[in-house]
Amino acid sequence: MTTYTLALIPGDGIGVDVTDAAMQVLDAAAARFGLSLDKTRFDWSCETYLATGRMMPEDGIDQLRSFDAIFLGAVGWPATVPDSVSLHGLLLPIRKAFDQYANIRPHRLLPGVEGPLRAQGFDILCIRENTEGEYSGAGGRVHQGRDNEVAVETSIFTRKGVERILRFGFEQARARRKHLTSVTKSNAQKYSMVFWDEVTRELAAEYPDVTVSPMHIDAMAAKMVMTPQDLDVVVASNLFGDILTDLGAAIQGGLGFAASANINPDRRVPSMFEPVHGSAPDIAGKNIANPIAAIWSGAQMLEHLGETEAAAAVLAAIESATARGIGIRPGLHGTQEITAAVIAALEENA
């Protein structure tokens, strides 16, 4: 029996609810496929910050380093801790410390789910650069609170960072429908985004079997609404990818269906898996949150660990549940009812 060590960080709000739901499903999948999931829970959250002044302990990264994977529920409780503090205190440090440079977010309609668009047959894989760019944290503020206050935020784009995320995207496109869309705003940002376009063209020569479509971010937002079925793999910077994937979540039926993986492809350190949605404090603990995004993120984790059969079975179970009308609209079914339906489908298809 293969054993995988998992670090669970439920975090805040509904992060606790959906992490518990996802682990119920993954435990059922593990039992079916002869795996063992050795889970260690870390209760790092905004409550931790209020009690200690830190979102996680000073040696938090070292505590996580030895695990095979990290599963995160959600982070944030803006009524008590500013989002800028919670994000920079937990999620971003983990992504950067473990060089999880590829953020992978799939966008397609599950069976039975009706999106807001007329288009139904889209299948988009968004690849977001995850460690630099607009979220590098380079900058500062001076003369705070005065009328001459200045705030500077500098985006950092390195050749290594841009090249490796684009190469990752090309490889994903080669394994799918061989079409890559590279998203920039090079008509306005004449240094960083022109640089990104240049690297895209350089790498395209190495992938003659992949069709490359450069596109500006504003045109891309329109395309995801008007003709999403034309898209295959989309690669974008940290900020652009973050915005586009919320739009992707919207067209696939909502954030309750939006999964994500923060990947370090060389596997020397743990990768992290999390639903895209936030902590939604107002519905925490009320058996309301849709756990499908978290369960789907769990399937991504199994796939990354090499358990492709188990990953496919979990995703098929999600699809079977939604095809029966379970969890397809907010408020239609509770967290535990959706979880039970996915587990039942997983066991029925064994």
Q: Which of 49, 101, 135, 207 is catalytic?
A: 135
Q: Where are the beta strands (DSSP E) in 102-228?
A: 102-108, 123-129, 133-142, 150-156, 179-184, 211-216
CA distances from 54 to 44, 51, 86, 88, 349 (A): 9, 8, 9, 10, 45
Sequence-ordered list of residues with C-beta below 8 angstroms from that of 338, at least 6 positions apart, any chain: 21, 290, 291, 292, 321, 326, 327
Q: What does the alpha-carbon distance between residue 59 and residue 116 come to, in Å, rounded to a whole number? A: 45
Tell whether the torsion through CA atoms of 200, 218, 242 and 224 is positive or negative.
negative
Distance CA 276, CA 246 (A): 8
* Greatest distance between any 2 Cα atoms in the chain: 66
Question: In 3D, which of 202, 233, 201 has the Cα closest to residue 220?
Answer: 233
Point out the catalytic residue in the list 17, 185, 207, 232: 185
What is the rounded CA–CA span in Å between residue 45 and residue 90?
8
Q: Which of 304, 295, 309, 308 is nearest to 342 (CA)?
A: 295
185 carries an active-site annotation: yes
Which residue among the candidates 20, 123, 197, 246 is catalytic per the annotation?
Answer: 246
* Known catalytic membership, residue 135: yes
> Residues 235, 132: contact at Cβ < 8 Å?
no
Taking each continuous run of H as one helix and of E as one strand, the counts in the chain are 12, 12
The dihedrals phi and psi of 179, each to the nearest 5 degrees, come to: -140, 125
Q: Which residues of 233-271 are buried (b: 16+ CB within 10 A; e: fewer)?
A: bbbbbbbbbbbbbebbbbbbbbbbbbbbbbbbeeeebbb
101 annotated active-site? no
Beta-carbon count within 10 A of 295 CB? 30
CA angle (23, 26, 31) in 5-degree steps: 125
Catalytic pick among 43, 62, 218, 282: 218
For tokens 């040696």, what's the residue?
A: 59
Whole-number Å distance between alpha carbons of 114 and 103: 26
**Catalytically annotated residues:** 135, 185, 218, 242, 246
